[in-house]
Amino acid sequence: MTVIHNESSFMLDNVVAATERDAAEQNPRRILNNIHLMISPGEWLNIVGTNGCGKSTLARLIAGVTVEGAAGLMQRGFAGAMPAPYVMQQPDVQLFGETPREEIRFALEWRGLSAAEIETRIAAVLEHTQLSALADLSWEYLSGGQRQMAAIAAALAVDAPLIVCDEATSMLDDEAGLRALALVRSMHERGAAVVWVTQRLQELNPGQRIIAMREGEISFDGNVRSFFYGNCAANRAKERLSPCEACGLRLPYLAALAVEWSRQGLLADPLPVTSAEWRKVLNER
């Protein structure tokens, strides 16, 4: 794969990734195929799709993790030459330190910060993530959610221009998931670009950009509201599949309810996505 480093947008152009051919296959199976993608500085990009669609492979490429069999052009742009902080679904496979404090220190030392700056950042991020009381406990004394928070804390401390989260909340309960999401949003508010891979469609905000993966290709690239509902009430009246349903995912309950009410003439565009939008709609009825 050709990699270019400059200060512009992050870009993938005509990128493919293939597994090695086995005895039952005539050709290598492509995990990614014909990927064209651009990410701007400070953007929030959601990536969704069914299991095996290629979204995690794409996330690893964006983060700068080596993917065997990948080819094409990558322009890392604002993300820089170093790999981006990458928070995975399973915290235990990504933790290098023995405690939350050591994990954060490892991430900062890898970035080449001074000892004084490292200690300052460790103290600040432990407080921000509510891990101060657990900072020196080994992983065996921490829950899965607390270990995931430590992984997110290490990513937060680095203060990188890009962070990639690959189903970082999928193993967390609702409360812990919301806390993790809030932490990542705080990085975004400070200017970081975020790539958020998720199966939890209720986490999505209507105006955010989302790409959907299907069989290794990008099947949709637009905003969340259009992903759930399509672009035209007439299409919904004819019961055509939304982009969400077309890529093999089920609409969240509230989105499915909105589509049904729209078909019955009870809701007009723009259809609500968030709980706040639903409250506004119901209060106006």
Residue 22: pLDDT above 80? no
Half-sphere exposure of 264 (CA within 13 A, CB side): 7
Pairing of strands 162-166, 193-197: parallel
More confident residue, 101 or 282: 101
- Rounded to an integer, the average pLDDT of 254-262 is 90
**pLDDT reading at 264 higher than 90:** no
Alpha-carbon dihedral sign for residues 15, 21, 27, 30 = negative
Instruction: Answer whether residue 236 shows pLDDT above 70.
Output: no
Average pLDDT across the chain, whole number: 89
pLDDT in tens, 164-174: 999 998 878 88
Q: What are the tokens at 163? A: 């962070």
Q: What is the mean pLDDT of residues 247-251?
A: 94
Decide if pLDDT at 251 tops 90.
Answer: yes
In single-letter form, the type of residue at position 191 comes to G
Q: Inform me whether the pLDDT recorded for 23 exceeds 50.
A: no
Question: Is 60 exceeded by the pLDDT of residue 25?
Answer: no
Percentage of the residues of the chain whose pLDDT score is greater than 90? 64
Tokens of 210: 């989302």
Q: Could you count the other beta carbons within 10 Å of the beta carbon of residue 186?
A: 13
Least confident of 12-21, 58-67, 103-112, 240-249: 12-21
For the stretch 77-134, pLDDT in tens is 999 989 999 999 888 888 889 999 999 999 999 888 899 999 999 999 999 899 999 9
pLDDT at position 41 is 95
- How much is the pLDDT for 19? 76
> Of all residues in the chain, what percent carry a pLDDT higher than 70?
93
Strand order in the sheet with 10-18: 2-4, 70-75, 10-18, 30-39
How far, in Å, are 46, 142, 232 from residue 277 at the CA level?
20, 37, 19
Helices and strands in the chain, H and E counts: 10, 10
In tens, the pLDDT along 143-159 reads: 988 999 999 999 999 98
pLDDT computed for residue 265 by the predictor:
85
Say yes or no to pLDDT of 44 above 90: yes
Banded pLDDT at 238 (limits 50, 70, 90):
low
- Specify the pLDDT at position 3: 77
* pLDDT, mean of residues 247-256: 93
The reported pLDDT for the residue numbered 237 is: 62
CB-based contacts of 279: which residues, under 8 Å, 6+ apart?
Answer: none
- Residue 232 banded pLDDT, cuts 50, 70, 90: low
- Alpha helices per DSSP H over the chain: 55-63, 100-110, 115-128, 144-158, 174-189, 224-229, 233-237, 243-246, 253-263, 275-283
